[in-house]
């Protein structure tokens, strides 16, 4: 509803452009003031009502999760009482109202109208009863977790999805008098779950690929298979996917990059470790895979220095830092603004990837492309790490055609403690009223990095130049058609 409202407002703007700008602004301010007043009163009236409403039992898991977040929030909000009002901290406190508010500000820049609006639509969870809902509690949990950014790494999102799917399949009851076949029934039941997940946060490429693979398996279930057999088979396939394509793949990548000669991988018996003693390695943000590689490298080489580069607004690098320091790795921490100062001391850049495009472009956390570009300028080799299950068969040449938007309000969040005592400029009323009029907020999540900037791509099939992605995709297709459901072992002698 609010998004429609929004659109009609903007069209109104266009027709009213003949009016003097000052007039227009005054009018709008009055209008918005009214709106805000109205909202405040409704919020005040709904707040107690909501809490007094008896909550229907949902699921133990879900409730726990919710309780945890709301608990956190209440603590946080106490500390940061004066902080910027529309920050997502509050968004968690009172979802419905705040969601509407953040959307009313969410006017996208003219060039970027094609992006799907930042939306976290879990309104379904606020319905009174979830007992008859078609959403499985594990999917509800995953959806809420990804909407609140509690799970953000693309690997863990995929694993989360697969485990939810596993529980979903175990809990599924196939009606005896159904006209549908087993696979049709599973698919029809799965569909709303996946839709819900997409509404909470657009699916990651890893999740998309996993869904594709699982659907393929579900659709090709043997015709006369019994319910329990089918369940066993699917659960086994899911476990296998997690085990082989995600966990084992990460291990293999580790071996390739550190040239673990003990496990001779065909044709690379004299491969050299890409990390050597006294290296200074630059990493960006947080990647499970990259951290693991560094931790393993530390066990082998004593003098490794890691430079963790971080960026606003998520500060994912802090998580990396925490993990690396725990393993006694010598670290430096720097924000992306200072990257060109540090780059001449760096030997290698290691980046994690969100996905790989068929034309060799690397999709990664926003800022990665910038890092690769600076590294290229300083002639520092850039290594990208990515499991082959994250290879997409789509082509993309820049980050503007397709991308995900984060919460635009995150960009305005002011983390500066010193400034929090006084009301920050951005949080002042006269400023907020201008949002949507003259201020456009664009919080992109990913960016796409051209293959010329990446020297080496390490996958579980070995080290490749980025341009070899199509060959890998072709090989994967060949394997899956040749062996049907069975997957080829990754390491062969």
Partner 1 sequence: MNVTELTAFFNEVIKKDSNISPAVAAIKTLLEYIRLQSFSTVVELRESVINAIDVLTRTDSSAISVRSGCEMLLRFITLTALDAGLDSGMEKCKEILLKNGQVFLSKASKARSRIARVACPWIPSGSNILVHSKSRVVLEILKEACVKNGTFHVYVCESSPDNSGLSMMEELNKLGIKVTLILDAAVGAVMEKVDFVLLGAEAVVESGGIINKIGTSTIGLCAKMLNKPVYVAVESFKFVRFYPLNNRDIPNEFKYKYSTISSVKDLENEHPLIDYTQPSLLTLLFTDIGIFTPSAVSDELVKLYL
| Among the listed residues 53, 272, 278, 483, the single contact to partner 1 using CB under 8 A | 272
271 is a site residue for partner 1 (CB under 8 A):
yes
| Among the listed residues 167, 370, 468, 480, the single contact to partner 1 using CB under 8 A | 468
475 is a site residue for partner 1 (CB under 8 A):
yes
Would you call 38 helix, strand, or coil by DSSP? helix
Stretch that binds partner 1, among 87-95, 122-130, 221-229, 267-275 (CB under 8 A): 267-275
Binding to partner 1 in span 337-356, by CB under 8 A: 348
Longest dimension (CA), the chain: 77
Closest CA to 350 of 392, 308, 298, 398: 308
- Non-local (6+) Cβ contacts of 226 within 8 A are none
Map residues 289-328 to x or -, x wherever contact with partner 1 holds by CB under 8 A.
----------------------------------------
Q: Least distance to partner 1 from the beta carbon of 262, Å?
A: 13
Stretch that binds partner 1, among 285-293, 313-321, 338-346, 452-460 (CB under 8 A): 452-460
Contact 183, 219 (CB under 8 A): yes
269 is a site residue for partner 1 (CB under 8 A):
yes
d(CA 489, CA 481): 15
Would you call 57 helix, strand, or coil by DSSP? coil
Kind plus residue range of the DSSP H or E element containing 300: helix 288-300
Binding to partner 1 in span 372-401, by CB under 8 A: 379, 381, 383
274 is a site residue for partner 1 (CB under 8 A):
yes
450 is a site residue for partner 1 (CB under 8 A):
no
262 is a site residue for partner 1 (CB under 8 A):
no
280 is a site residue for partner 1 (CB under 8 A):
no
Binding to partner 1 in span 154-173, by CB under 8 A: none
Residue by residue, DSSP assigns 209-255 as: HHHHHHHHHHHT--TT--HHHHHHHHHHHHHHIIIIIIIIHHHHHHH
Nearer to partner 1, 207 or 254 (CB): 254
Closest CA to 473 of 356, 370, 391, 378: 391
Closest CA to 453 of 385, 386, 361: 361
Interface ranges with partner 1 (CB under 8 A):
266-272, 274, 348, 379, 381, 383, 452, 455-456, 461-465, 467-468, 470-472, 475, 493
């Amino acid at each position: 509803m609010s998004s429609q409202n929004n659109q009609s407002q903007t069209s109104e703007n266009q027709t009213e452009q003949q009016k003097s700008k000052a007039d227009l602004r005054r009018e709008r301010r009055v209008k918005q003031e009214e709106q805000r007043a109205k909202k405040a009163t409704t919020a005040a009236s709904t707040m107690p009502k909501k809490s007094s409403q008896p909550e229907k039992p949902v699921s133990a898991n879900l409730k726990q999760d919710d309780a945890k977040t709301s608990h956190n929030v209440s603590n946080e909000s106490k500390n940061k009482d004066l902080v910027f009002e529309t920050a997502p901290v509050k968004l968690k406190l009172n979802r419905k109202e705040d969601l509407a508010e953040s959307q009313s500000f969410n006017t996208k820049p003219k060039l970027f109208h094609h992006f799907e609006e930042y939306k976290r639509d879990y309104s379904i969870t606020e319905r009174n009863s979830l007992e008859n809902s078609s959403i499985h509690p594990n999917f509800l949990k995953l959806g809420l977790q990804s909407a609140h950014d509690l799970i953000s790494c693309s690997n863990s999102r995929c694993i989360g999805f697969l485990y939810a799917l596993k529980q979903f399949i175990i809990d599924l009851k196939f009606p005896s008098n159904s006209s549908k076949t087993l696979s049709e029934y599973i698919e029809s039941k799965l569909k709303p779950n996946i839709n819900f997940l997409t509404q909470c946060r657009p699916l990651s490429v890893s999740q998309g690929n996993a869904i594709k693979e699982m659907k393929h398996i579900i659709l090709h279930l043997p015709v006369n298979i019994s319910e329990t057999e089918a369940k066993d088979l699917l659960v086994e396939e899911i476990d296998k996917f997690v085990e082989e394509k995600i966990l084992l793949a990460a291990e293999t990548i580790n071996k390739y990059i550190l040239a673990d000669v003990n496990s001779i991988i065909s044709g690379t018996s004299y491969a050299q470790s890409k990390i050597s003693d006294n290296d200074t390695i630059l990493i960006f943000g947080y990647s499970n895979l990259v951290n693991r590689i560094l931790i393993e490298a530390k066990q082998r080489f004593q003098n490794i220095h890691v430079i963790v580069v971080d960026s606003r607004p998520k500060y994912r690098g802090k998580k990396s830092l925490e993990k690396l320091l725990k393993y006694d790795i010598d670290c430096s921490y720097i924000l992306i603004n200072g990257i060109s100062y540090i780059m001449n001391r760096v030997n290698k850049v290691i980046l994690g990837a969100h996905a790989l495009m068929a034309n060799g472009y690397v999709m990664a956390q926003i800022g990665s492309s910038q890092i690769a570009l600076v590294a290229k300028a300083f002639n520092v080799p850039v290594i990208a790490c990515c499991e082959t299950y994250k290879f997409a068969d789509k082509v993309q040449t820049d980050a503007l055609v397709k991308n995900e938007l984060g919460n635009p309000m995150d960009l305005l969040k002011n983390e500066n403690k010193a400034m929090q005592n006084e009301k920050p400029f951005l949080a002042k009323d006269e400023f907020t009223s201008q949002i949507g009029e003259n201020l456009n907020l664009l919080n992109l999540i990913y960016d796409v990095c051209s293959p010329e900037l990446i020297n080496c791509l390490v996958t579980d099939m070995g080290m490749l130049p980025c341009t070899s992605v199509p060959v890998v995709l072709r090989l994967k297709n060949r394997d899956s058609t040749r062996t049907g459901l069975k997957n080829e072992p990754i390491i062969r002698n």
